[in-house]
Structure 1
Amino acid sequence: MFRHTKVFRNFLISYLVILAIPSIAGYMSYRTSINVTTSVSIENSVTQLQKSKELLERRMAEVEGLTRQLAINQDLAVLINERATQESVNVYGIWKMMRDVTAVGQTNDFLRHFFIYLQNYNVVLAPGSAYFRPEHYYAIYHYADLPFEEWREQVLDATHRSELIPLKEFVSGTQRTSVITYMQSLPLDSFHDTSPAVVVVVIDEAAIASLLSGITDRYGGWVRVGDEQGGVVSLTGIEESAVAAMAADSRFDAGRISQFYEDDLVITIRSEKNGWVYQAGIPREALLENANKIKSITWTVTGIALFAGLLVGLALAYRNSAPIHRMLTVFGQEAKTGRNAFDFLQGNIAEMITNNRKLESELRRQQPLVRDAFYKRLIAGEFQSREEIVAAAVQSGAGLGGNAGFVGIVQINGYSGMNDVEVLNELSAARLILKQAMLDLAGPVPITELGADKSVVMLFSEEGSEGAFDRDQADALFRHLSELLFREYKISVFAAVGNPFASITDVSLAYEQAKLALERVDPTRTNDKSVVWYGETKPESDTYYYPLDVELRLLGTIRAGELEEAKRIVRMIVSENKDVRELSPEMKHQLALEIKGTLLKLLDQKTFQESEASVDVKARILALQSTESLDAFQAEVDAVMETMCHTIASKKNDMHVKIVEQIKSFVGERYSDAELTLYRIAERVERPEKYISQLFKEVTGTNLSDHLEQVRMDRAVELLKESAHTIDEIASLVGYNSSHSFRRAFKRVTGVSPSAYRQSVEN
């Protein structure tokens, strides 16, 4: 498949480079998206922790607000300032105060568990309960690792100013939990070692953790809140030892708000109000969940795109390198030379372009000569059919402009018999002036030289069309030409014009008539006439009219099988001899013998020798007699020519059918060759490309390219009915370089795709 490896690699590398450019841009965009997504996730996490901090600070502010409310409570102030004795206890005041504080704990879960210790009464007031001895309270609520005496000394008997006991294990009845403890002495301005009263708020860690659950519930990480002295206020999802190890690690910067430490994003926020430190650890995978989704989708799509791009690159590289390889094969470059293929092609193509330009320049230079040669052949009657004349006119670039018109011979007077150099130069200049004058009068008309002092002018136009030449116009044109040349340049000319022709095949006859008119008239004795017409002259003898060129044209027309043209030539011969001349019976007989001889010459051809009708035709020719009128003789000749042209046409058709069958046979043998072209077929049948293309269309009614495609499709249908080959293999087997071209051609011919056709057959 990859025979042209070097060219193929060059194309493939180019496509891969083109594919790499958007891939690099896509990777940069992907990295930007990942970074933006990561930044947004980190920012959201910091914001979430900041909100949790603010909520916790508000709740702690409410706790502090409780102590300030109690400090200004009149009933509590009365109890604090009373002197208590065993005989006098303000039971009502204590009961009333206990009732008042009961409602406070229902508004804030941080105030669910608090008490007021009255030093003078040695009473612990809690919502819903009053303990007249602290031991009773301690029996139900106490720290797991703190004895009663220490608890009394550190909590009840000490003076506190918004103090906080870090997280400790706490026993509440039969349950164990961890709590922090907020303590405030009353009144607020107590400065003694002991204070009259102490407000103690026991805050369950679960209540604090609920405020920080926004991070742990979302990401499943850990949260730690520490007080200003480093004590633990709340700890969820991690051991304190791990936090301590992280803080001691030199890789961890405690001053940064966010940083990645091992597999976690660690966020650190310090409160400006109380100095607490809030830390949250979020697993990297959870934080980058969206980024990982983007990464997964991006890599998947990129991988598929790269794979598809590689396949497309391979296909395009093969498709685009195949023509270059074929060109290299045509130019004959050997792969082992190591020469760059594109440089090689550039050199050869540049050389071809240079040679082509030289050829075009040479053709342009020789075109006037080719055109003049065509005009000379046209007036000499060397063409056998109208189609041949039209084809030669197109090839030479001679614009005839119509089928009808006139032929005139313009002779420059005064130079007869003079052949020295100076005279020839004067005649050459005179002919150029004559051409320019004719161009000014009638536009571009075909003119060719006839000797040194004569020029043949052909006036063409479509018969019956607007602007067509008639006899009067043609006569006036030649007279104006003569007057203009004499008036402007003192050049005397004389024009002899033949009868009008109605077909371009009669140009030679009109020329012969003009030549005869020129021969019959002495330009010096025309009574000042500058134009003479063939019909105005009389022949010098009574001999019959049947020139050699007319005979040759008649032979060529019959050989070509063009019956109507042959009849027209015979009609012209008869008209010339009947209307213009008065022939004696002997001359008529002699003319009939000449025409019979012409027809007998045709019987010597191989076409008639192999025909069964040759004997009958020969007998009919020999039976031709001129005893009757020339019109009757013409009718008999027409009948014989009709038979001969029919025989020739039949032979031509047989030959054409044979060539077409040869073409079909060759196509049937070589349809699988992707290099099968019109040139290869023409080379096989030894005919020009245009000829076999037109011939095939005429005989079969189908274009040769369509026939080749149909043959390939018929074979493809047979292969699709089997299951031994894939569609790509079938495309190669029926002569297509690419399966895409095969699929398009198959659908265009059959109306369905190859895969759909195979499925319909299998079902």
Structure 2
Amino acid sequence: MKHLWSKFSPLFRRFMISYLIILMIPQIAGYASYRASIEAARTSSIENSLKSLNLGKEIIERNLMQVEDFTRQLAINQDLYRLIADPKPQDANNVYGLSRMQRSLSMYSSTNEYLSHFFIYIPNYNVIITPTTVYYRPEHYFAANPLEGVTFDEWKDNILKKPHLNEIIPLQNYKKEIRSNVLVDAPAITFLQSLPLNSFNKPQATIGVMIDEDKMASLTHHIVEQYGGWTLVTDSNENIIFSSGLNKDEANKLKVMTAGKEDEAKPMGDGRLLISIHSNQNGWNYMAGIPERALMVKADQIKQVTFTFTLATLGFGLLIGLLLAYRNSAPIHRLLSVFREQDIVLPGKAGNEYDFLASNITSLITNNHLLKNALNEQIPMLRDGFIKRLLTGEFYTIRELEAISSQTGISLHTSRGFVGILKVDGYGSPDSEEIIQELSVARLIVRETMTTWHADVLITDWGTDQIAFVQPLSEEPSNTPLHTAVSELSKRMNAVYRDYRVSTTIGIGSSYEDWNDVGRSFNEARQALEYAIHMGAEHLVRFEDTIKETELYYYPIESEQRLLNTLKAGEMEESDRVLDQLFSRNFTERELSYDMTQQFVVELKGTFLKLEPKIMLDEALVDEFKNRIAAIQVTDSVGILRDKFHQLAKDVCRDVQRKKSNMHAEIVNETIAYIQKRYADATLTVYRIAEQMGKPEKYISQLFKEYTGENLSDYVEVVRINKAAELLRESQQTIDEIALTTGYNSAHSFRRAFKRVRGVLPSSFRQMEDQIK
């Protein structure tokens, strides 16, 4: 058991011990309840026995009182009075009177079972009358009902001649005639009363009632029958009145135990409990000896039920404890495994898992806070860098744009707006520190004014005396929001000049409908600003106002660079949008001359020729590509020119995408080969694989998922488990050895991984394979 317990992890053992302690609390409470139930059952049995014994005592005393009442009734009986009143009767036999008296006595015997055997001795006639007959000589009665160990003379002197007042002779055997000349021993007590009731010397009559022991003992016999005990009743002189369940010797030994003044129960030391009651009416002691095991019958039933329930609860509780201990320790164990598998070494304690995790997680949280604070300090720089990249058109996809904007906290809730660039006037070359400081203050005033005007405006410094800004507009299709915004901007710059004497010149680009078109609007704003400075125009100039006065073709270097970048990236939609924009600017918004059209087409063809050495997959395609570019003629219509350049761009993007696909497939194949080779290395993680491939970890993970449909970490696990399954089938290595061979730090983590992948434990898998063989 100790060896089995040591196989579980310390963390699991701690959880299990905790649940065992919790499980023991209700068990202790249950034991206390069990002991209370046992004591209650014992007390209840004793109380029932006392009640039964007390009930028997009350019935016996009530019957004895009825016997006394019987003697009082005989004292006033006229027939009996006439027999005993005449000391010298004329008729010595008086057969009629005696027979009449005998008949009257027969009625009394049916009223009380204690009166079934009694006699009346009348000295005047020297006769004894019973309910059944008249004995004309006492000798005849004694011969029929002799007392054991007593002679007739002793019986006559002590019973018939002496006066008696409610006197009871203790238990003695007498011969009872059950049929003619058949006598049996009948233990009985004898109740004696002399008549008249106040006679103290020579009584005129003596009444004797023999009460059988069986009749008295029957009232307490159920205690003997129910518990297998005994009952004993003694008088105040420790003479035995009657007993049940005891032989004569046992009764003589036990009669010396007297009852207290109160009902009580006390152990006798031999496994029996003595229950005793003292009668205040006649001084008798009623005692019952009951085996304690008999009192515990109900308690034994409670004990059996409690024991069964306790075992079931304990077993079920242990099962639940095992499940909960595994459930609660498994996540922590996995977390520890992650730390170990990642070779994370932090200044934490290694002796205790909780201290280790607490210390390491605290360190990670602290480092995370430090990193977060460092990143927060860099957010203004990141925002500024994001805005500059947005203005220069370095984002080629909306997904990339949204990802970086979310990191900088910049909202992109609307994709419509315009770009402007503002120049602080009145300063020449910033060749002194004083001028630079004044420009900084002026830029700060302008930035504050624009931020107050619109909270979502994106602002960045563009040199020492210029500010570039991106102003969002509402999604209304008309130009009204643009005109309103430009008018409001002009008013605010006039206010800046009025309040701070800061003069500005602003160039405004045309509005954009897509975030990828911000770079174009920015270039237009720069052209508008340059036009305003060159022409000495008003402080705010729109790009639309400048293009009316020129017939030069529109193809700024920024647009060329953006077209080149989108083609190199294989972004077909973005390249089409740039081409559409160029054709719209040159042939819809302008009326180019033939020479300007020719120069624009040549510039555009030159842009595509710059791609040739970088994107072609096959040297044989280079000449074909050049021939297609050369085939584009200026004499073609605008529509044909647009279609040819669009088709050329589409083919270029497809070639780039195919090249990327082949390159990605090669990277994935190299990754798979590397995993197949290094799966046994326990330090093989996604980070290690990415490091080997020379690519970022996120890039490798996404690329592998895209091409295989499977997570990279899951694939590593599947490779290891497949190799482990092969070893389980074909080798005799132990599970611990196979775990180490396939790159797992512990057999426990190996078993969990095997169960997760194959659905069974390694041992069960090996058994199934052996059965198949």
TM range (shorter): 0.7 to 0.9
How big is the shift at 1:112?
1.2
Question: 1:257 — aligned with what?
Answer: 264
Matches within 5 A, 1:266-281: 266-281=274-289
Report 1:451-470 matches (<5 A). 451-461=463-473, 463-464=475-476, 470=481
Q: How does 1:497-516 map to 2 (within 5 A)?
A: 497-516=508-527
How many residue pairs get aligned? The number is 725
Task: Tell me, yes or no, if structure 1 residue 357 matches structure 2 residue 369.
Answer: yes
Give secondary structure in 1 for the equivalent of 2:109: helix
Structure 1 residue 118 displacement after superposition: 1.3
Residue type matched to 1:258 in 2? A
Task: Name the CA distance, whole Å, in 1 between partners of 2:419 and 2:410.
Answer: 16
Q: How does 1:175-190 map to 2 (within 5 A)?
A: 175-190=184-199
* Number of the residue aligned with 2:541: 532
Q: Deviations over 1:59-86 (max 9, x none)?
A: 1111111111111111111111234569
Where in structure 2 are the equivalents of 1:33-432 lying within 5 Å? 33-83=37-87, 88-173=92-177, 174-192=183-201, 194-239=202-247, 241-242=249-250, 245=253, 257-262=264-269, 263-329=271-337, 330=339, 339-432=351-444
Q: Contact (CA 8 Å) 1:264, 1:284: kept in 2 or not?
A: yes
Per-residue Cα deviation, 1:66-111 (whole angstroms, up to 9, x for no partner): 1111111111111112345695322222111111111111121111
Q: Residue type of the partner of 1:260?
A: P
- Uncovered stretches (5+) of structure 1, i.e. residues with no partner: 715-730, 747-757, 759-763
- Of 583-592 and 211-220, the range deviating more from structure 2: 583-592
The TM-score normalised by the length of structure 2 is: 0.82
| Alignment match, 1:755 | none
Alignment of structure 1 residues 553-592 onto 2, 5 Å = 553-579=562-588, 583-592=592-601
Distance 1:396 1:736, change over 3 A: same
Is there any run of 5+ residues in structure 2 with no aligned partner, and where?
178-182, 723-746, 761-767, 769-773
1:437 matched to 2:485? The reply is: no
With 80-89 and 687-696 compared, the bigger mean Cα shift is at 687-696
CA distance in 2, matches of 1:471, 1:126: 142
Letter in 1 for 2:435: V
Cα drift, residue 283 of structure 1: 1.7
Q: CA deviation at 1:505?
A: 0.6
What is the letter of the counterpart of residue 549 of structure 1? E
3-state SS of 1:175 partner: strand
Distance in 1, matches of 2:597 and 2:174, equals 154
Name the residue aligned to 2:180: none
Letter in 2 for 1:444: D
CA 1:213–1:617: 2 relative to 1, 3 Å: farther
What letter corresponds to residue 18 of structure 1 in structure 2? I
* Other structure's SS at 1:502 match: coil
Can you list the C-alpha shifts for 1:366-419, whole angstroms capped at 9, x where unaligned? Answer: 111111111111111222222211111112222233212100112222123234
RMSD: 4.3
Deviations 1:548-569 (A, max 9, x none): 3322322332344332221110
Tell me which moved more, 485-494 or 678-687.
Answer: 678-687
Give the match for residue 29 of structure 1: 33
Give SS of 1:521's match: helix
Change (3 A) 1:249 1:153: closer
Instruction: Write the distance in 1 (CA, Å) between the matches of 2:627 and 2:514.
Output: 33
- CA deviation vs aligned residue, 1:580-632 (integer Å, no higher than 9, x gap): 555554543343333334334444446x4159977755543342222223432
Q: Distance in 1 between matches of 2:542 and 2:367?
A: 50
User: In 2 relative to 1, CA 519–58 (structure 1 residues): closer, same or farther, beyond 3 Å?
Assistant: same
Task: Pick closer, same or farther for the CA change 1:248–1:231 going to 2, 3 Å.
Answer: closer
Residue 352 and residue 710 in structure 1: after superposition, are their counterparts in 2 closer, same or farther (change >3 A)? closer
SS at 1:522 equivalent: helix
Which whole-Å CA distance do the structure 2 matches of 1:671 and 1:230 have between them?
A: 99
Shift of 1:229: 1.3
Whole-angstrom CA distance in 2 between matches of 1:255 and 1:272: 10
- Name 1:475's counterpart in structure 2: 486
**Conserved in 2, the CA contact under 8 Å of 1:617 and 1:644?**
no
Match of 1:202, as an amino acid?
Answer: M
Change (3 A) 1:113 1:605: farther
Moved more, 324-333 or 403-412: 324-333
Q: Distance in 2 between matches of 1:668 and 1:195?
A: 128
What letter matches 1:43 in structure 2? E
Give the whole-Å Cα distance in 1 for the aligned partners of 2:692 and 2:324.
33
Q: Deviations over 1:196-244 (max 9, x none)?
A: 2111111111211221134333323211111121111221123454466
Partners of 1:633 and 1:318 lie apart in 2 by 72
Q: Name the aligned partner's letter for residue 56 of structure 2.
A: S
Amino acid at match of 1:367: I
Amino acid at match of 1:564: E
Structure 2 Cα separation of the partners of residues 656 and 84 of structure 1: 151
- One-letter amino acid of the counterpart of residue 540, structure 2: V
Q: Assess if the C-alpha contact under 8 Å between 2:721 and 2:753 holds in 1.
A: no
2:413 and 2:671 map into 1 onto residues whose CA distance is 38
Where 2:146 maps in the other structure, the secondary structure is: strand
What CA distance in whole angstroms lies between the structure 2 residues aligned with 1:70 and 1:709?
Answer: 112
Pick closer, same or farther for the CA change 1:699–1:633 going to 2, 3 Å: same
Task: Give secondary structure in 1 for the equivalent of 2:394.
Answer: coil
SS in 1 for 2:460: strand
Q: Secondary structure at the residue paired with 2:187? A: strand
Secondary structure at 1:103 match in 2: helix
Distance 1:538 1:449 in 2: 26
Q: CA offset at residue 706 of structure 1?
A: 11
Per-residue CA distance 1:266-290 (angstroms, 9 max, x = gap): 1111001000101112221221222
Equivalent residues of 2:523, 2:558 under 8 A apart: no
Using the aligned pairs only, state the percent identity.
39
AA in 2 matched with 1:422: E
Q: Distance in 2 between matches of 1:506 and 1:188?
A: 140
Could you tell me how far 1:326 is from its partner in structure 2? 4.2
TM-score (norm 1): 0.83
Tell me the distance in 1 between the aligned counterparts of 2:29 and 2:87: 85
Conserved in 2, the CA contact under 8 Å of 1:617 and 1:643? no
Secondary structure at 1:628 match in 2:
coil
